[in-house]
A and B are shown apart, each in its own frame.
Chain A
Amino acid sequence: MSTVGVERGGDPARSSTHRDELVGLVALIAAGVLITAVGMRLLTGPLATLAVAGLLAIVATLIVMAIAGGPQARRRLAPYGLLKPGILWLALFYLAPLFALARESLSTLPSRFAVEAEFDWNTGNYAQAFSDFGPQFTRGFVYAAVATALCIAIGYPLAYVIAFRGGRWRNLLLGLVVVPFFTSYLIRTIAWSSLLADSGPIVGAIDGLRLTSVFEALQIMDNDRLINTPAAVIGGLTYNFLPFMILPIYVSLEKINPALVDAAKDLYSPAPSAFRRIVLPLSLPGVFAGTLLTFIPAAGDFINAEYLGNPNTTMIGNSIQDQFLVQNDRPLAAAMSFVLMAVITVAVFFYTKFLGTEELS
């Protein structure tokens, strides 16, 4: 990341730099806070109008400072200006909704079909989320974890081959990895429901090769059936999130200098050893990113369970969707969403620790 126009010179310039940057940053944060508060309806009525006025004042001040302060000030303030629209959008439509959801999770519906819930620090929703939906939470995480592991198993070698052996076909191959992504997620899942159907080609092949009992023993098939099983759901999850694993791994592998690998091969003569000592650790950031991008959405998914599963394979995503869109219990759905996020955060935390120690050894 290159910076233009590095400051040189005496103290006055530096202190004004810091002052300008500070002002810019504070202005950005203040604007974000104000807009979030308005979005959450923490500030309503006249207060909200005041907040919006304050927001405009901040923007105006920045502009004035930029114009009046000369080229140095403009340069310091520019990034904050560039960031403002996007960050404010995110503040209003990402942060504020999260806070609104949090408030909803601590609310109670006055009657079953009321539209507005009353905020009253009701933690009962969280208790209910834990007690009533334990199995769905567990299944969500287990299925997502297995799918992520499978994604690594399938995706890492593919990324490796593209990165190190792709040559001039790299971009094309990467493009091919991304292309399936351009068809509808739903239709891809429906495709699997057809491919895995009882009368479909895959079950036919398994039966033909007389592998049915093997698959049933492995718990992949159930009652001569491949669809409407946990395996089908996990398979769907794996397939749908595979590109999210391949791309980050590829990016981190691509950065590795091939000369480094060659040198390693000379040092640690069996090639797998070179891989283990040099390539693998360097690619871990990519694996980490890929895991996040795969595990987190998979844990909250409900489409694969809906199309490929059975009543005993529902995931927490199905429950949240049902509570929100069918049962109308929005406070409960909100609480469940936060529990989902909390557990994901904990899981990611432990995963980071795990990866960290790997690197040390």
Chain B
Amino acid sequence: MTSSDRPRPPFDRRQFLLRSSALGAAGLSLPAILAACGGDDDEDASTGAAGGTSETTGATSAGTGGASTPGGGGGDELFFENWPEYIDPTEDGLTGTADRFIEASGVQLRYTDAFNDNNEYFALIQPQLGTGGTIEPDIIAPTSWLAGRLISLGWVDKLPVDQVPNATNLRADLRQPSWDPTGEYSLPWQTGITGIAYNLDATGRELASVEELFDPAFRGRIGMLSEMRDTIGLIMLGLGADPASITSFDDAAAAFEQLVAAKADGQIRAFTGNDYLDDLSTGNFAACIGWSGDVVQLARDNPAVRFVIPEEGGMSWADTMVMPKGAVNRDAAAKWMDYVYDPVQAAQITAWVQFVSPVTGVQEEVAKLDAELAESPLLFPDEETLSRLHSFANLEEDVEAEFDAAFSDIIGA
């Protein structure tokens, strides 16, 4: 072995070096790529399903002549992002509203239900809408206060109301609401009532007032909503205050204090979104704050579950359709809104979701489908019931910030 005293290049470092330098150079071009990506990210600016169950059906297969025209406001496509379980599905031999619409209008509707939480969704769309970009959905259905915020931030377009003749069917009490004074930016999807939901087997008695949520007998088995206005509003009613007349944080200070104390005592098991229903039916929650439509649906399968508007009063709310800035399919959106504001169609939706329809004339239509349902005061509240419902005042941005900060402190985030 002659080479033992002379160092030998084991093998070609040059190859390695060249190869790795090439890789390195490739890696260096990343900032350039990223910069390029950042500039025109419209096509990437989507807000699709971050965790929802899509209820669209074969929009492509139901193509009754729906050859899509390229772009423009006359597009035959529509993307509606809504809350979960908020429309009648196609099942058990019945065609859902979305599918009936696709058949009737030829519009390729894409309906998703990834809208899980108002604040989360806002955080998701903020990077695009906040910098003048656009998001993918043409219609979204935030709760009224978020709609109000979007309107004041200028992140939504006016609705094509002149193309929606059925808009005249809007309930009188919902015209030009506090969150949309001109009424040009939003059309409610559903409205509802916040009250107390309880499991009779778990509580052992019927409940009637907000104060009973703080009964030590139910310690650790009370649920409340992560929606600030529903929870604080109801507690304020329980203390005799009126949520509709809030002007500053002090007006709600007592309610916050009561909530803080209840949480510290371990009275409240959890703050939930839509997920209180399971805990309610199993009895994990003896009682909780809940939404009328959900609980009425549940009560049909589980008679132990009850919903009651507290004697001190309940909260009324609305989820409302708005069009994010830059949405392209305005004509298709108009067709959709016109369709769902037809009392016949609206009745189908109401019969399933069992919330309070924003459309007049629905009660008669529902009577044709289900007489018992048409008599329900929770779906069709009479004057007396309506008088017991309150709405939450529209908060100024800085006041809202105080409320949100105090509330997120409590729900432990």
Contact = CB atoms under 8 A, between A and B. Distances in A.
Interface in B105-152: 117, 119-120, 122-123, 126-127, 130-131, 149
Given A228-B270, A325-B120, A5 B24 contact: no
Interface stretch (B86-94, B165-173, B405-413): B405-413
A241 to B, nearest CB: 22
B123 A5 contact: no
B28 A5 contact: no
A318 B409 CA distance: 11
B1 interface: no
Given A55-B28, A85-B20, A325 B412 contact: no
A312 B123 contact: no
B18 A82 contact: no
Size bin of chain A's contact surface: 35 or more
Interface stretch (B4-12, B95-103, B240-248): B4-12
| B contact patch SS | helix
A259 interface: no
Contact of A84 (B10, B24, B413): B24
A63 interface: yes
A59 B25 contact: yes
Given A5-B10, A56-B28, A199-B282, A318 B17 contact: no
A208 interface: no
A20 to B, nearest CB: 12
A74 B13 contact: yes
A66 B13 contact: yes
Contact of B268 (A311, A314, A327, A328): A311
A182 interface: no
Contacts of A38: 31
Contacts of A89: 27
B176 interface: no
B21 A35 contact: no
A7 B5 CA distance: 10
B368 to A, nearest CB: 42
Given A74-B14, A228-B270, A311-B268, A88 B284 contact: no
A326 B413 contact: yes
Interface centre among B8, B10, B24, B408 (most CB of A within 10 A): B24
Contacts of B269: 228, 310
A300 interface: no
A124 interface: no
B404 A327 contact: yes
A179 interface: no
Contacts of B270: 228, 310-311
A133 to B, nearest CB: 9
A354 interface: no
A84 B131 contact: no
Given A84-B23, A113-B153, A310-B266, 10 more contacts: A63-B17, A88-B24, A88-B27, A112-B397, A222-B220, A223-B266, A310-B270, A311-B412, A327-B408, A327-B413
10 contacts: A31-B24, A52-B28, A66-B18, A78-B17, A81-B13, A82-B16, A88-B24, A223-B219, A312-B266, A325-B123
Instruction: Give 10 closest A-B pairs by Cβ, nearest first.
Output: A322-B413, A314-B412, A74-B13, A115-B130, A5-B7, A81-B17, A71-B9, A311-B412, A84-B24, A85-B23
